[in-house]
Structures are given as structure tokens and as C-alpha cells.
Amino acid sequence: MKKLILMLCAVGLSGAAFAAGGEVNIVPKPLSVTLRQGTFRVTPQTEIAVEEKNAELKRAAEIFSEAVAPVVGGEMKTGKQGAIDVRIDPALEAEAYTLEVAPSGISVRGGSAQGAFYGLQSLRQMIVDGEGSVPAVRIEDKPYFGYRGGMLDPCRHFWTIDEVKEYIDILAMHKMNRFHWHLTEDQGWRIEIKRYPELTRVGSMRKETLFGQYMHSNEYDKTPYGGYYTQKEIREVVAYAAERFITVIPEIELPGHAVAALASYPWLGCKGEGYEVRTTWGVSTEVYCPGKETTFEFLQNVLEEVLELFPSKYIHIGGDECPKDSWKECPLCQQRIRQEGLKDEFELQSYTIRRVEKWLREHGREIIGWDEILEGGVSKTATVMSWRGSKGGIAAAKAGNHVIMTPNTHCYLDYYQTKDPVYEPQGIGGFLPVSRVYKLDPYDQLTPEERPYILGVQANLWTEYIATFAHVKHMLLPRLAAVAEVGWAYDRKDFEDFSHRMQSLRKSYDAAGLNYATYFFDGKDE
Ligand code: ACM
Ligand code: ZN
């Protein structure tokens, strides 16, 4: 604790550190920043020394070099020797790093290649901010939360592999370490499953899409829409993310949000016929039938292929927004309720989730589910993703379940960014400026004993009303930076100071050619 206080004093009252060499402004906020005299200038002739045998570290250095090349004037070489020295320091925690800049050279030390990668991300921000000239400084840094995620929905609108990679690049520059890929939905099934070709032949296409606002429009664009990722492409994305120390968590939705699967294989539903990939938004009453054994066989066979593609410990199984209408009418679902001694349809949902969880645990994985998995009872080993505000997550943590906080009150980046959104592109509604995102408190209402159950935070980007990738970035940036700072620097966050440092991160967005919303920078964050 004493050490922590000393470090915080080193940062001073403002996280923006000043000295003759300049200013250090990093988002998310480092643990300590101690400015020294002088600067180091990075040029294309500067070389990066990395341990040759450490392929992860070498790749991290190359990715860094590529990112700063437009500012530095060219890519720096990596080799055995160089003025930027990147190494592992086993005394540090895996995600921690120290970054020391002196007029004679730069040293980056990571507790692992991942820690070093984060040190290089901080250096990247400083190089862009100073146009190649970096002030002498010593930075010590490590994240507060272990889980720092971003979710993307490629089902409502589809994103190409290159766009998904750009999303991953954006997560990486914010020191996020999880990419939650929402791969199945009512409006489209997006992952190739070799055993069930109809999922992509039929389920990846919808015949048209609602035009305008859900509930207020009955106009359709009369244009077929679809897309999916082959298993080869998925492997490529998983590897791309891994080089950036991001684990990809696939979401295979059950028992609801399954209309595209039902349209592909109608025997998966209670009614057994008459399904069509959904062309409008909202929640469908057509869901998987857990009364049939064949539904579980299907889910396990799908998951078997999913596990081959994704090394992630966690598999997200959805669990949200599953109306019980069809189960109430279905003789097989009712029979299942009686046979298993279940009280009602909520317990049938719980039975379904537990059964899939059991199978996944037998295969060495754990589940994440949206907070509805609490209804009807949840196993102690399930991780709850709290989205309907924080209340589900609070209840789950109090019950001893692990939790990821992604409340729609703070983390739904598909919401509007200004109070009077006439100047914004069409959105789903809501109001979530950067300042409100920043107020996210993942520990709200939790005692010190309950807090360790909170694994971290996540930004969610649903795409009903987002049809272009430029719009994705407009919604994501700069609000993602606020989520990142809560995740990385919860114990040291300060909005005024963040706002100042964001002027520097903005330059990194510009240098990377990223589209972003300017409301916050224009003083219209309200
Ligand atoms: C959700 O937004 N339905 C998880
Ligand atoms: Zn049924």
C-alpha cells in the first residue's frame, strides 16, 4: 500500500505529467509516470532489440513498428541490438510493464510478451503525440481488471474479416484483451459448421431487412443480405487476435435468438416448420426446443466444431431474451418439465443452460451467459455477463458467481452519444455520452468480500442500425477509451484528467486513420 501511495504521488494530482521534455498523456491511465529531463527521437533508423527466440515478443515489436511507421517515417528493424530494448522481466506480473525513456535509448520490460506489448502501446501513443520525439520518463503500469473486452455483432450487419481485424486492432490499442464475437442470431448465422451446411447455406441469408426504426416502420429494403465466416477465416482471426494478446470468445446463442438455425433445420424448433431468417429486429418467440434430444445433439455437435476453432477457456452461450411461449405450447417441452421435475419454463431454460454447461465443462471449457441465466437458477461455475443494468451482476457476485459488467446503462455503444441526436446517424435510441460511460462502477453496491467476483468490463456493439464499418468506429470511438480506462485503471480514474489525455489519444486515432465521433472533443458530450 505504501508503495502504491508513493507511486500515486509520483503521478501527481494530474495524470498528465509535465517536464522540460514535454508531457506524457496515456490512455488508459498508467499506474505511475515520472518525468525526467530530455527526449529521445525515434527515426526509421532506430532499431528494436528483442530476444530472437521469443516469437511472440518479436511479433509484438513488429506490430508496434508497423503502427508508428507513418509518424516515424518508416518501419524500424527488429534484431539483436537496438536503442529500443524490449524484454521480459519475470519479476513483473504477466500483463504489467515498465517503460523507461532516456535520451540514450528506450527500455520496455514486460512481465510476459503481453506486458511488453502494452508497454509498446504506451510508447506508440507517446511517439504519435510527440511526432517521433518522446520525453524521458519512467512509467510503471499494470491493469486493474483481468477481463477487458469488446463485443461486436456481425449478425444484424455483417463485417468482413478485414473489418473484424481492424476492430481487434482498435481493442489492442486500448489494451483490451478479449474480443467477444457474437456469431449466431435470429437475423443470420455467421459461422461455418461443416456438419450442418444449411446453417450457412440458408441461415446466413435473410431475404430483406427492415428499413427505418423497429416498431415504427413496416418498410423493407427488398434486398437479400448475408455473409458468414469460413472456419479458415475464423482461424485466421483467432491467430491475428492472439498476436495482439486478445482472446476471441465466440458466442453461440441458445436457447433464444436462434431463428436462423431454425430456418436452416426446422426440427430444432418446437413447431418444427415455417421458420424464416428474421428480417426485422427485436426478440422472436421462435426458439430452440429443449424438449427434443436432437436439439442437444445438434448443439453439442456445433460446439464440438466451435471448440476446435477457439482455444478460449470461455464459450459464451447467450441465454438472453428467450420468450417461453413456444415451450408452453409444446408437448415435448412440457414432457421434459415433468420428467425432470422442473417447476416451470424458467427452470426449463435453466435445465438447458446447465446441460450445455455440463457438456462444455466435460470438454474443459467454462460458460459465460447473459444475466437471464440467473432466472430459474444458475450453477456456481457459470460466469454472468450483466447487461440489463448492473443488477444481475450485483446479484450474481453476491451469490458467488463470477461476473463481467457490461450494463446497458454504461457499456452499450450502440446508444446515441448526444442528448439531441438529430445530428447523429440513426441509432437504436438511448443516450450514452463518454462522461456517462466513464462513470461505470463495476463494484457498485458490492462489499470488499464480493468485489473479487467481478472479472472486469466490456463494451458491446450491437449493429441493428449500423450498416457501415465507418459507423461502427463512430460508435466505438472515443467511448471505448472510457470503458478501457475503467477496465485498466479503475483505481486511478479521474474524468477531467482523462479528458485532457484524450487529446493525445485522438492523435493516435488520426495517425491510424480511424474514424471516430467528435462530440466529446467538440465539447458536446451531453
Ligand atoms: C442483449 O443485449 N440482449 C444481451
Ligand atoms: Zn419444445
The CA 350 to ligand 2 mean position distance, Å, reads 14
Which atom in ligand 1 lies closest to the alpha carbon of residue 387? 4
- Nearest atom in ligand 1 to the alpha carbon of residue 408 is 2
Which residue CA neighbors atom 2 of ligand 1 most closely? 387
List C-alpha distances in Å: 141 to 19, 209, 489.
Answer: 20, 46, 9
Ligand 1 pocket member 320 (CB < 6 A) = yes
- CA-closest residue to ligand 1 atom 3: 320
476, 430 Cβ separation under 8 angstroms: no
Task: Sort strands 22-24 and 17-19 into parallel, antiparallel or unpaired.
Answer: antiparallel
Take residue 97 and report the three cell numbers written for it. Answer: 510493464
Q: What is the pLDDT of residues 415-473, one digit of tens each?
A: 999 998 988 999 899 999 999 999 999 999 999 999 999 999 999 999 999 999 999 99
Residues with CB under 5 A from ligand 2 (ion): 270, 289, 291, 330, 332-333
Stretch 264-279: mean pLDDT: 98
Q: Is residue 370 lining ligand 1, measured as CB closer than 6 Å?
A: yes
Distances (CA, A) of 3 to 32, 35, 108: 11, 18, 21
Measuring CA to CA, which residue among 204, 169, 201 is closest to residue 188?
204
Digit-coded pLDDT (tens) for 197-250: 999 999 999 999 999 899 899 999 999 999 999 999 999 999 999 999 999 999
Query: What pLDDT, in 10s, does the model give residues 133-176?
Result: 999 999 999 999 999 999 999 999 999 999 999 999 999 999 99
pLDDT band at residue 3, thresholds of 50, 70 and 90? very low
Between the two ends of the chain, the Cα-to-Cα distance in Å is: 37
* CA 480 to ligand 1 centroid distance, Å: 18
Average pLDDT, the chain: 95
CA 209–ligand 1 middle distance (angstroms)? 20
Give the model's pLDDT for residue 12. Answer: 41
Can you tell me which atom of ligand 1 is nearest the CA of 385?
Answer: 4
The verdict on the CB of residue 347 being under 6 Å from ligand 1 is: no
List the grid coordinates of 312: 478460449
Residue with cell 476453432: 309
For residue 147, the cross-strand partners are 456
pTM, 2 dp = 0.96
Q: Which pairing describes strands 210-211 and 219-220: parallel, antiparallel, or unpaired?
A: antiparallel
Closest ligand to C-alpha of residue 336 is: 2
